[in-house]
Amino acid sequence: MSGWINSLLAFLALLGRWMLESTQHTGRMILFTGAVFLRLFPAWTRPRLIIQEVYAIGVLSLVIIVISGGFVGLVLGLQGYNILSKFNATESLGVMVSLSLVRELGPVVTALLFAGRAGSAMTAEIALMKTTEQLSAMEMMAVDPLRRVVAPRFWGALFAMPLLAALFSLVGILGGYLIGVVVLGVDPASYWGQIQQQMSPVDDVLNGVIKSLAFGFVIGLIAVFEGYDAEPTSLGISRATTRTVVLSSLTVLGLDFILTAWMFGT
Amino acid sequence: MDSYIQFERVSFSHGRRVILDQVDLVIPRGKITAIMGPSGTGKTTLLRLIGGQIRARSGRVMVNGLDMGRASRSELLAMRRRLGMLFQNGALFTDLTAGENVAFPLREHSRLPEDIIQRIIALKLQAVGLLSAADQMPAALSGGMSRRVALARALALDPELMLYDEPFTGQDPINLGVLLRLIASLNKALGLTSVLVSHDVTEALSIADQVFVINEGRVVGSGSPEDLLVQKAQSPFLQQFLDGVPDAVTGQSETEARNLAVALGLGVPTVPMAEQESVQ
Ligand SMILES: Nc1ncnc2c1ncn2[C@@H]1O[C@H](COP(=O)(O)OP(=O)(O)OP(=O)(O)O)[C@@H](O)[C@H]1O
Ligand SMILES: [Mg+2]
């Protein structure tokens, strides 16, 4: 009897602690977000730092994005051909592949890969700088680490995401072409022609760009926050990187639903 | 005597643990002040209080007339531009070469042309005897070398206040001499105010004008190195700390030493059990 009550109490205590901790974590994140936002535009006094970050983050994810984009395109080409051939509509393969990519898979899959590759790296880097007192040293040199280290990385993620998503979609469309046109014999003129006719620059392309910007925003923010907030130990660093990947992947998927409902859900 | 830094009844704690307890310190301008004490007594904490990275729980820290507890962000930044701090572990930026580490504060706070920056880098690295390491990444430097590069970086902007956190750890005798001369001459030639945290008693006492010994959050000895030698007579702690040899060890017999080693789980007693009993 009392054993049962004890384990219930222990469970409640655990639940309470977990709730307290997550509330604190959220609170710190909100404060941090405010502090970073104040420095986003001042960070542009040194545009080179931001360009360096876009480059570094982009290069980090380039290979994985190209390879995944290619495979996703190949699969879309195969599956699309199978489905469309039942309706004698294989000439629409191009538009099917490109719409799936530009509207949905490009931004989302890129964001998931981006979180795992660049996001975790950003977190680990900042957390390590914290652990080895590099951020502290910067502070003592009257250099604001939020402005010098954090803000440029956030901008880097924000800019790199749409570029990488566009690359992903492009490679994917080429992959679809390879399977559909080269292997399965769809007419090349209709593959490209349908894309040109049916894709709307605003509804499809712009919305895709907005999505990838939004994903870049949340991944960038989560990655720099988790790095900055990490406990300065090796365990703290590994926990922070894991949290970045989990938290940003979930946020991206949830946000994708909201954005899709808003953009395409008439 | 003109003071640069004053601690007035400063207390600081981590959670419930009291690190500094009502500490009073006066650090004179243009002099070398050594802060000594056993590991974990809050020496680094004290330097962080001076730099304004943490705030005292009670009491007042005054640095060059600025109350660190009340200072605004911009006052704090202005104060830190005149401060150089050598971190205990160096804290070099791992993604920049040694030379670029030294250049960092210059690039952040000055608009000097590139050739001048390169000249300053060479000058500062030469002063710490590491000119040849300018293009090395921090990962390729030894601990002692990193700390000397970090010293060059801290000196890059010609600060008027230098905080050294354990500069002598991991230095060979030759470089130790270089560092001691460097710290002393910075002081004499440029009138730098230096705060030197160290537990290398001989080195610290040899260049310090004034010494504070801290133990368990309190100042337990202060004054010139000579004063300290006088105070030593009255305080067993000071005696033990300054002489570095707990008196128990000096008269230790071989058997005592062996028993201690065994108690620590080191080595196997060479004497068979029965015999050892009879020895004791
Ligand atoms: N973030 C922290 N949380 C809790 N306790 C801390 C924290 N940082 C330091 N301490 C404690 O504060 C005390 C003083 O730390 P400090 O780094 O100032 O010591 P120190 O005198 O510089 O020691 P050392 O000579 O080994 O460098 C230590 O006992 C340490 O355990
Ligand atoms: Mg210390």
Enumerate the residues of chain A whose CB falls inside 8 A of the CB of residue B49.
none
Tokens of B224: 């010139």
Percent of chain A with pLDDT over 90: 82
Inter-chain residue contact A139 with B80, CB threshold 8 Å: yes
Q: Tens of pLDDT along A187-229?
A: 999 899 988 888 888 888 999 999 999 999 999 999 999 999 9
In this structure, is residue A231 part of a structural domain? yes
Whether B270 and B177 share a structural domain:
no
Task: Kindly state the average pLDDT of the residues A6-33.
Answer: 92
Question: Which residue among A132, A143, A148 places its CB closest to the CB of B89?
Answer: A132
Identify the pLDDT of residue A3.
83
Q: Establish if B227 touches chain A: CB-CB under 8 angstroms.
A: no
Q: Tens of pLDDT along B106-152?
A: 999 988 999 999 999 999 999 888 899 999 999 999 888 898 999 99
Enumerate the residues of chain B whose CB falls inside 8 A of the CB of residue A129.
93-94
In this structure, is residue A16 part of a structural domain? no
Task: Kindly state the average pLDDT of the residues A62-86.
Answer: 94
Nearest to B54 by CA among B41, B42, B40, B64: B42
Whether B178 and B266 share a structural domain:
no
Q: Which residues surround ligand 2, an ion (CB under 5 A)?
A: B 44, 88
How many domains are contained in chain B? 2
Q: Tens of pLDDT along A165-180?
A: 999 999 999 999 999 9
Q: Which residue has the higher pLDDT, B279 or A82?
A: A82
Name the residue range of residue A100's domain: 25-260
Whether B196 and B262 share a structural domain:
no
In this structure, is residue A234 part of a structural domain? yes
Signed CA dihedral, A78, A81, A83, A85: sign only: negative
Task: Kindly state the average pLDDT of the residues B61-82.
Answer: 90
- Among all bound ligands, the one having the nearest atom to the CA of B45 is 1
Identify the pLDDT of residue A246.
96
Centre of ligand 1 from the C-alpha of residue B44, in Å:
7
pLDDT band at B280 (very low <50, low <70, confident <90, very high): very low
In this structure, is residue A86 part of a structural domain? yes
Distance from C-alpha of A91 to C-alpha of A193, rounded to nearest angstrom: 9
Q: Tens of pLDDT along B241-275?
A: 887 765 555 566 777 777 777 777 776 655 555 55
Centre of ligand 1 from the C-alpha of residue B4, in Å:
24
- Compute the nearest-CA separation of A132 from chain B (Å): 6
Nearest to B213 by CA among B186, B188, B234: B234
In this predicted structure, the answer to whether residue B1 has a pLDDT above a threshold of 70 is no
In this structure, is residue A13 part of a structural domain? no
Identify the pLDDT of residue B268.
63
* Beta-carbon count within 10 A of A152 CB: 25
- Compute the nearest-CA separation of B248 from chain A (Å): 37
Whether B237 and B278 share a structural domain:
no
Distance from C-alpha of B128 to C-alpha of A92, rounded to nearest angstrom: 71
Distance from C-alpha of B201 to C-alpha of A127, rounded to nearest angstrom: 35
Name the residue range of residue B32's domain: 3-253
**Residue B111 DSSP class:** -
Distance from C-alpha of B191 to C-alpha of B30, rounded to nearest angstrom: 5
Identify the pLDDT of residue B247.
53
Whether B269 and B137 share a structural domain:
no
Tokens of B38: 């056993």
Identify the pLDDT of residue B270.
58
Percent of chain B with pLDDT over 90: 42
Whether B183 and B260 share a structural domain:
no
Distance from C-alpha of B118 to C-alpha of A100, rounded to nearest angstrom: 54
Whether B232 and B120 share a structural domain:
yes
Angstrom distances, CA of residue A199 to CA of A101, A103, A194: 12, 10, 8
How many domains are contained in chain A? 1
- Mean pLDDT, chain B, as a whole number? 86
